[in-house]
Structure 1
Amino acid sequence: MYLWRVAVNALPTRENLMCRLDIPDPSCVQCNQEVESAIHLFSRCQAAKAIWFGACWGFRPDYGQFTSTSDIIKVILDPPSTLCQSQDLWRLTLNMAITLEELWHTRNEVLHLTSPANIYATCLRIKSKFKEYSRILSPCETLRLSKDSVKWAPPPAGTVKLNVNATISQSKAALAVIARNERGTVLKVWAKSIPLCSPLIAETETILWALNIAYGANWRNIAVQSDSKSSIDAILDPSGFPVWAISTNVFNICQLAKSFSSCFFSWINRSGNAATHVTAKYAINCLGSLYFVPGNLPASLAIVCEEDA
C-alpha cells in the first residue's frame, strides 16, 4: 500500500499540501534546499542520498534520473543487477522498499519532533527490518530438509556448507566441522574433544557448534549436513522427536538458525561424510583442539576432500 501511495504521488509532501492548503514554507524539512516534492524527498535530498548509500548496498538514487515517483517504484521492482547476484535481486527489492518507507518515517520524525535526521539510526533500523523480513520471505525456508544424499554435493552459490560428525571413544567424544563453498574448496576445518556422552548428544552438540562457528564468521547463508539422521529429524520436527537428553541442544539450534538469512539441515549417508569422519578421528587421538586451513590439511584429509569435490 505504501509503495502504491508513492507511485501515484499520494503522500502528503509539502508540495502536495501546497495545492490544497496555505503552506508558508514548502521547502524540504530536512535540507531546506528545494521544494519538498516526492522526487526531491526520495532521491535528491542529501539525507536521502546518505541513507540510500548507507543502507542499500551503495545504491545512488541520483544516478537513476527519476522524473516521476513511478520511476522510483520501477527501480525497486526491477533493481540494478550490478549491486548483487541475480538470485539475490529479491533481497535488493526488499531492502529498497524498506529504505523507501524509512525515508518517509525519518522525514516525519524531523517534522514532528523538530530534531535533525539521525541517518545512522535510520540505517540500523533498515538493516534490522531487512534481516527479519528476509528470513520470513526467503524462497528457501529455514530448516528445510533437502533431498537425502549418499555423496557430498556442493551447496548453491553464495552458501557455505558445514559438514559435521561426532566420534565416541571409551573416555571422550570428538566433534568435527568442515566448511566448504560452492566450488568444493575447503574454507576451514575445526575439531575438538568433549567429555564422554551419548552419540546422539554428541551429534547435536556438533551441529550447534557448527552454527556458532558460522555465526561468528558472519556467514549469512549456510547448509548443515550430518550423517546422524536422528539429529536431523529432531531438528526438523522437534515435537515429533521428544528426546529429553537433546531437547536443549535442539531448541538452541532452532533458535540460532533464525539468525541466518537461510539455513538448511539435511542428512547425508556416512559414505558421503568421510571428510568429517577422518577429522573426528584425528581429534579423538589428540589432547587439544584442532584447526586447519587449506594450506595445512593433513594428507589423508586433503585426499578425502579432493575426492568429495
Structure 2
Amino acid sequence: MGIKHLVAKAACFQVGNGASIRIWSDPWIPNFPGFIPTPKEGANSDLALVLQNPGCSLLNLLIGSREWFLLPPILMLTCCPLKRIAANLLPSKEIISRFNESMDLRCPLCNSAMETTLHIFTVCPFAKSLWFQSQWGLKMDVLNFDSPSEFVKFLLSPTFASNFSPSHREEFLLFGAILCDVIWKQRNRSIFENVDINLEGVAAKIFSLFVEHKSARPPLVRPQVSLAALGWNSPPRHGLKINVDAAVGPKFSVIATVTRDWRGRVVFTGSRKVNTTFPLQVEAEVVRWALTLVPDLRCDSVSVEIDSQVVANLISNSSVPPLWRIRFLCFDLRSFLSSYSNVVVSWVPRICNEAAHILAKWSLFWKFYGSFDVSFSSDCFSPIVLRESSGLV
C-alpha cells in the first residue's frame, strides 16, 4: 500500500457503465495528461458521467427497457426517438457545449436561437411550420413545455385531444415521432453534409412516412374486395366515370383524368402540370379538376374514382378534419359535392385505376400535357384503355 500514490499517477479508471465516474475529479480518459479533463469556469465539479433525469419519472414505461414488452405496438415503433428525447440524451449543441465551450450554439435550422432539444422540436421556426401544417394545425410556441420529458408526455397524452379515440391518439403519437425523427436527420444533414433546408420536401417526407406506417397497421375490419371489383367497372347506364391519378416529380407534378361512359367509350382524357410536390395536395388538385368538368357533362350521374384512400376519405367524409395544407381545398370540394347529389368521389384499388395512373406517369416522364385522343396517344396508355373497356383485366 506504500506505493499506491505512485501507481495512481499512471492509473486510469475502467469506466464500465460510468455510474460511479465523476467527470472533473476522477481519472477516466486514456491518453489524456493526468487522465482528468479540465472543467470550464463555473462547471459543476460533482457532475457524473451518467446523468440521471428525475423529470422522466412519468415516462418510465417509455424509457425503461424492462417494461418494453408492455408497450402498445404503435409505441414500440415510435419508442426509439422519443425515449432519447424524453431523457434529453440527444447530442444537441447545448449538451455538447458542456464539454466544448468554443462551439457555435446556434440552431442549424434557423441560425438564430441556441439549439436545445426543446427548441429544435418545438419552437424552432422550421419545426413550428411542420407542426402547423399537420392535420392538427398545432401552434407549438403557445404550449410552453418546461422540459423534453414534458413534450414527450404531450405526445403520449395530448391535452387538446380529450375526446380522441385510442386509435386517433396513436396516430398523433406516430406523427409526432416521425416528425421528430425527420427533423433530427435534417439537422444532421445540415451540419455534416451542408444540405440546404427544403421545408416543402421535409413536410412531404413526413406525410409520406406517416401514411406508410399508418397503412402498415392491420385494420380492425379488413375490407372484402370481390373478384368483380379487381378491374375497371363501367358506371350505371347513362352515367359517366372519371378516373383520376397523379404523378409527383422532384420539381413539379402531373395530374391526369380519364372519362368514360357506361359503354366504356372514352369521352375525355387529359393531363396537366401542377406546381407542387406535396402528394396530398396533388391528389386533391386532380379531384378538383375532375369536378370542374361535371357542369359540362350531360349525364345522369358522375363517379370520380381515385386510388388515394386518404384523399377520398377527406373529401367525401365531412366529419374527418382535413390537413392544414389542403384545408380550404377540401372545404371547396365538399361544398361542391353537397350541391350535386348525382356526383360521388370514391376510392378504388390501383388495379381499377390503371389508365389514369399510366397517363400521369407517362406525361410526367415525357413532360407532355394536354388532351389526348386514345387512337393517337401513347403506346403504353391506349392498350390499357381498350383492355379495361372491353372488360379484360
Give the TM-score normalised by structure 1: 0.49
Question: Which structure ranks higher in relative contact order (CA pairs < 8 Å, sequence separation ≥ 6)?
Answer: 1
**Bigger CA radius of gyration:** 2
